[in-house]
Amino acid sequence: MLRSRRWKTPVSKSVAASWLVVAAMAFISTESLSQTDRSSSSGLSPQAGQADGMLARARFLQEQADHEQAIPILREALQSSRMTLGLYHENQLEILDSLIASEIAQENWRRADDLFALLLHLYENLYADDPERLEQGLAKVTGWHVDAFRLDLDGRAVPHLRSARKLLKARLQLARLVGAPDVGKIARLREGIHVAEANLILHSDSNRNELRSQQALRREWLLSSLE
């Protein structure tokens, strides 16, 4: 994905949603196992169990492709977790992942984008001292912005490109901090930054050309109205 110079793939948004949901649900399946291990070892409160129960119900609905019904349950689970466990708790990662998957399935791109921003904020606060886990979160959110741009999900190419570039730079900095830097990973991140910046230039030029075209049309209309 990062090696593509323009990151663009012609595909319908419904197909894109299906791809993204499959990827999200696959990630949730693996993530939920590690979350369950951590939860059992940390001894979560009965109140946390309430959020887990809502998450289980929502998961069942998601398996039936009933995302419309799953979304309000997941929102309630997130709110319950934040009230009982605090604003920053690992329990919320799994809930957010599931909620994002359902919002994507419903093609609610802006809601998904807002939830990814919350997910990023959560990772940054939970794992400020854990570069490996922080990198996992940064990579997940980077993937969203790249896919949102590549598949033209919401018509917000430039904001997604800027976010992707910022996250790639943060990941590059993390990659350089580890004891034995992964040279291949560093090279891929640099290439990703280069691709993001190249696309930003292309879209800036495109936006300027479109603006000039619109101004020319307005001038023509004004002149014709004066005749």
Q: Judge contact between 111 and 72, C-beta under 8 A.
A: no
pLDDT, tens only, 27-72: 554 555 455 444 444 455 555 678 899 999 999 999 999 999 999 9
Lowest mean pLDDT among 85-99, 172-186, 196-210: 196-210
Q: What is the pTM of this model?
A: 0.75
pLDDT of residue 221: 62
CA–CA distance from 173 to each of 73, 186, 190, 199 (Å)?
38, 9, 11, 22
Buried b (16+ CB within 10 A) or exposed e, 82-99: bebbeeebbbbbbbbbbb
Give 45 or 169, the one with higher predicted confidence.
169
DSSP letter for 7, please. -
Asked if residue 222 has pLDDT above 70, the reply is no
Give 23 or 82, the one with higher predicted confidence.
82
pLDDT of residue 45: 55
CATH class of 13-226: mainly alpha
pLDDT of residue 41: 43
pLDDT, tens only, 65-106: 999 999 999 999 999 999 999 999 999 999 999 999 999 999
- Six token digits for residue 95: 């809930």
